[in-house]
């Protein structure tokens, strides 16, 4: 009996020690997040630095300190987990991207964005896969199968354009910002879908139908994921419009919007669809309908809440990656032959450069052929920036690499360890080195002097829209709906073919005003607030 009691006490002490260690780890991590925000603010005007690089460097520095204090046993307080990344950190970032994006500019360039984000990612993946399969066999890395090489192509085709988007201004360069931002979202979705498809296919029995099967699977995932996001967004708009939740509690409105957005992502994952595409288009629909159905206080709250969650998640990811980069367990496997790891990292970095160039410049040329106006064409300097924006690799590449080459964050094979350490090296080098050069490069290629027209646009920006927040992904008067009368009806088939986007936009606006907004609300809808004239009079529309 005494033995049993002492055993229970010892177990409780172990649990208590474990809980205490977790509390200490979380305290330290939250303190580091605060430090990243403060230091990022102090370096706001710095020519070279940005918050992503700052968080990454702070994470590396903290990892070095922990490594020294632990006697070389551990370098992190939290273990990198692809589940943590994909389930908790990625959704708020992608949702806020859709919620804050300039919808008009995004959809005007939709075909070019799809060309870069989908077709370009496939080309980049093919180049990296072929190059790695030919060169790695000569480096004596270890046994890698066809599925591993295809996975490597998908892993390093995933871009991270956060550093570039932090520097670009979408009011100064709306076309460039729209292309870089849109391609980044579609690229992430394509890379993840491609990676999952590679893991699901039986690569030992490849025949001529597998390419068609993959293409059909990709198109299904793209369309189904998009429709799920749109339907979830419309459902949230309908519920809030009909129930007038804000008359009793604005907190419920905000909570419902957040939970419905997250539900769209989890439903996509449950149905084996692309959660990235789903939550992105859910954000677009919510900003167009749901956001206008809530009370004024809820609009302000949601606008800043979504931006804040996205901002913290981005900093969290870069800090997380920086600290995990020095995980001593993985580096021990390659310590006997560091040259092999360096060579593999160099090869992968070179393939990233070549794979990116293999589609940016040719696809830009094709895109320019379809455009009549010189202002809509992508100049060579803009092509260089688009190429540069996609050279950086980030948390998506890390998460996919851990998924392919580790088991629960650990690996026991030398070849897998080489791939993990090479991925870490490429992510760190590309983010820090390429990221540091982003601001000077953009200032060199796109020197900007504000003109009177741009100043007037900034002044005329409607402060009541969700795009007016001073966050990286914002909109402006370019999304304003007062320009519908300035879009003339085409007088002939030739005119229709010359301005298809304007015509489609005009037809959509007529359909939206006539059918969608009466059902789902949107701009012009006045939600009922307690004690307001709307509540007393029962008006629903201005």
DSSP codes joined into one string, 381-435: HHHHHHHHHTS---HHHHHHHHHHH-BTTB---HHHHHHHHHHHHHHHHIIIIIH
The two three-digit tokens of residue 418, written as one number: 């080489």
| pLDDT at residue 465 in the model | 45
Least confident of 339-353, 428-442, 451-465: 451-465
Question: Do residue 26 and residue 97 come from a single domain?
Answer: no
Instruction: Give the side-chain half-sphere CA count within 13 A for 445.
Output: 19
Domain annotation covers residue 489: no
Query: Rounded to 5 degrees, what are φ and ψ at 115?
Result: -60, -45
Comparing 74 with 405, which gets the higher pLDDT? 405
The two three-digit tokens of residue 73, written as one number: 């046993």
The two three-digit tokens of residue 103, written as one number: 């919808």
Distance between CA atoms of residues 212 and 221, nearest Å: 14
Handedness of CA 234, 236, 239, 243 (dihedral sign): negative
pLDDT above 50 for 197: yes
Distance between CA atoms of residues 246 and 413, nearest Å: 56
| pLDDT at residue 15 in the model | 45
Query: Pick from 70, 94, 128: which residue ends a domain?
Result: 70
Distance between CA atoms of residues 224 and 422, nearest Å: 35
Q: Are 203 and 147 in contact (CB under 8 A)?
A: yes
Question: For 207-226, what is the mean pLDDT?
Answer: 80
Question: Do residue 53 and residue 102 come from a single domain?
Answer: no
Residue 8: is it exposed, middle or buried by C-beta count within 10 angstroms (0-12/13-18/19+)?
A: exposed
- Looking up tokens 């907004």, which residue turns up? 517
pLDDT above 50 for 467: no
Question: Do residue 233 and residue 139 come from a single domain?
Answer: yes
Question: Do residue 176 and residue 320 come from a single domain?
Answer: yes
Query: Rounded to 5 degrees, what are φ and ψ at 207?
Result: -135, -175
Question: Do residue 339 and residue 364 come from a single domain?
Answer: yes
Comparing 8 with 241, which gets the higher pLDDT? 241
Comparing 290 with 522, which gets the higher pLDDT? 290
Question: Do residue 88 and residue 63 come from a single domain?
Answer: no
Domain annotation covers residue 516: no
CATH assignment at residue 197: 1.20.1530.20
Buried b (16+ CB within 10 A) or exposed e, 413-427: ebbbbbbbbbbbbbb
Question: Do residue 53 and residue 105 come from a single domain?
Answer: no
Question: Do residue 226 and residue 280 come from a single domain?
Answer: yes
Considering only CA atoms, which of 212, 157, 353, 186 is closest in space to residue 280? 186
Q: Are 155 and 404 in contact (CB under 8 A)?
A: yes
Residues 6+ positions from 346 with CB-CB distance below 8 Å: none
Mean of the per-residue pLDDT values for the chain? 78
For 17, the domain range is: 1-70
Question: Do residue 260 and residue 298 come from a single domain?
Answer: yes
In total, how many domains does the chain have? Answer: 2
Domain annotation covers residue 432: yes
Question: Do residue 410 and residue 431 come from a single domain?
Answer: yes
User: What is the three-class DSSP state of 19?
Assistant: helix
Bridge partners of 410? 407
Cβ atoms within 10 Å, residue 36? 24
Grade residue 257 by pLDDT with cuts at 50, 70 and 90: very high
Grade residue 189 by pLDDT with cuts at 50, 70 and 90: confident
| pLDDT at residue 259 in the model | 95
- Looking up tokens 């006045």, which residue turns up? 526
Q: Are 51 and 40 in contact (CB under 8 A)?
A: yes
Domain annotation covers residue 535: no
- pTM, whole model, 2 decimals? 0.79
Domain annotation covers residue 485: no
Distance between CA atoms of residues 442 and 166, nearest Å: 11
Query: Pick from 70, 101, 125: which residue ends a domain?
Result: 70
Q: DSSP secondary structure string, 98-125?
A: HHHS-HHHHHHTHHHHHIIIIIHHHHHH
Compute the residue count for the chain.
542
Q: Tens of pLDDT along 24-40?
A: 778 888 899 999 999 98
Instruction: Find the angle CA(189)-CA(147)-CA(182) to the nearest 5 degrees.
Output: 15
Query: Pick from 41, 70, 99: which residue ends a domain?
Result: 70
| pLDDT at residue 97 in the model | 86
Comparing 449 with 334, which gets the higher pLDDT? 334
| pLDDT at residue 436 in the model | 84
Percent of the chain's residues with pLDDT above 90: 22
Instruction: Find the angle CA(475)-CA(480)-CA(482) to the nearest 5 degrees.
Output: 170
Question: Do residue 151 and residue 12 come from a single domain?
Answer: no
Distance between CA atoms of residues 19 and 24, nearest Å: 9
Question: Do residue 111 and residue 31 come from a single domain?
Answer: no
Q: Are 286 and 236 in contact (CB under 8 A)?
A: yes
Grade residue 6 by pLDDT with cuts at 50, 70 and 90: low
Considering only CA atoms, which of 185, 200, 203, 210 is closest in space to residue 272? 200
Q: Are 341 and 414 in contact (CB under 8 A)?
A: no
- Looking up tokens 């830009």, which residue turns up? 364
| pLDDT at residue 542 in the model | 40
Domain annotation covers residue 471: no
pLDDT above 50 for 460: no
Question: For 448-457, what is the mean pLDDT?
Answer: 45
Considering only CA atoms, which of 50, 529, 22 is closest in space to residue 296? 529
| pLDDT at residue 358 in the model | 95
Distance between CA atoms of residues 450 and 289, nearest Å: 33
Question: For 403-429, what is the mean pLDDT?
Answer: 81
Comparing 389 with 447, which gets the higher pLDDT? 389
What are the C-alpha distances in Å from 244 to residues 170, 234, 239?
A: 35, 15, 8
Question: For 340-366, what is the mean pLDDT?
Answer: 92
pLDDT above 90 for 283: yes
| pLDDT at residue 474 in the model | 36
| pLDDT at residue 394 in the model | 84
Distance between CA atoms of residues 238 and 472, nearest Å: 29
Q: Are 198 and 151 in contact (CB under 8 A)?
A: yes
| pLDDT at residue 503 in the model | 60
Q: Are 225 and 217 in contact (CB under 8 A)?
A: no
Q: Are 248 and 65 in contact (CB under 8 A)?
A: no
Domain annotation covers residue 136: yes
Q: Are 413 and 142 in contact (CB under 8 A)?
A: yes
Domain annotation covers residue 542: no
Distance between CA atoms of residues 87 and 265, nearest Å: 9
Considering only CA atoms, which of 232, 120, 228 is closest in space to residue 184? 120
Question: For 374-388, what is the mean pLDDT?
Answer: 89
């Amino acid at each position: 009996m005494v033995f049993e009691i002492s055993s229970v006490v010892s177990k409780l002490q172990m649990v208590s020690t474990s809980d205490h260690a977790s509390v200490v780890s979380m305290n330290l991590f939250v303190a580091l997040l605060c430090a990243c925000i403060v230091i990022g603010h102090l370096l706001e005007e710095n020519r070279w630095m940005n918050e992503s690089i700052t968080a990454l460097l702070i994470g590396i520095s903290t990892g070095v300190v922990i490594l020294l204090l632990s006697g070389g046993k551990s370098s992190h307080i939290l273990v990198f987990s692809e589940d943590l990344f994909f389930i908790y950190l990625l959704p708020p970032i992608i949702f806020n991207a859709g919620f804050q994006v300039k919808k008009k500019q995004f959809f005007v360039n939709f075909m070019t964005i799809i060309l870069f984000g989908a077709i370009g990612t496939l080309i980049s993946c093919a180049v990296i896969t072929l190059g790695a399969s030919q060169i790695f066999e000569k480096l004596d890395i270890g046994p890698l199968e066809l599925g591993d090489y295809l996975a490597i192509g998908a892993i390093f085709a995933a871009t991270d354009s956060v550093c570039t988007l932090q520097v670009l201004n979408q009011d100064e360069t709306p076309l460039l910002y729209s292309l870089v931002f849109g391609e980044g979202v579609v690229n992430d979705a394509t890379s993840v879908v491609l990676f999952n498809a590679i893991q699901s296919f039986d690569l030992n029995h490849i025949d001529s139908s597998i390419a068609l099967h993959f293409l059909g699977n990709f198109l299904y995932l793209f369309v189904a994921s998009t429709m799920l996001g749109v339907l979830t967004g419309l459902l949230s708009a309908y519920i809030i419009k009909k129930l007038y939740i804000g008359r009793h509690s604005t907190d419920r409105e905000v909570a419902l919007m957040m939970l419905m957005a997250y539900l769209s992502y989890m439903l996509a994952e449950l149905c084996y669809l692309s959660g990235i595409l789903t939550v992105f288009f859910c954000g677009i629909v919510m900003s167009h309908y749901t956001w206008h159905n809530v009370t004024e206080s809820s609009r302000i709250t949601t606008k800043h809440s979504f931006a804040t969650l996205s901002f913290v998640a981005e900093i969290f990811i870069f800090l997380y990656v920086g600290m995990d980069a020095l995980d001593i367990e993985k580096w021990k496997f390659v310590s006997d032959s560091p040259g092999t790891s360096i060579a593999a990292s160099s090869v992968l970095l070179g393939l990233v450069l070549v794979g990116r160039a293999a589609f940016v410049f040719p696809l830009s040329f094709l895109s320019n052929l379809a455009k009549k106006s010189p202002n809509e064409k992508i100049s060579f300097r803009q092509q260089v920036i688009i190429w540069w924006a996609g050279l950086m690799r980030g948390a998506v590449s890390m998460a996919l690499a851990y998924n392919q080459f580790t088991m629960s964050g650990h690996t026991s094979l030398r070849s897998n360890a080489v791939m993990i350490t090479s991925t870490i090296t490429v992510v760190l080098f590309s983010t820090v080195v390429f990221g540091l050069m982003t601001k000077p490069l953009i200032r060199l290629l796109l020197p900007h002097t504000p003109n009177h027209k741009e100043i007037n646009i900034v002044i005329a920006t409607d402060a009541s829209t969700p795009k007016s927040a001073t966050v990286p992904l914002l909109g402006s008067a370019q999304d304003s709906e007062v320009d519908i009368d300035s879009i003339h009806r085409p007088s002939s088939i030739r005119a229709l073919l010359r301005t298809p986007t304007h015509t489609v936009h005009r037809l959509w606006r007529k359909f939206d005003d006539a059918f969608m907004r009466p059902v789902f609300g949107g701009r012009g809808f006045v939600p009922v607030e307690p004690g307001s004239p709307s509540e007393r009079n029962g008006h629903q529309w201005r």
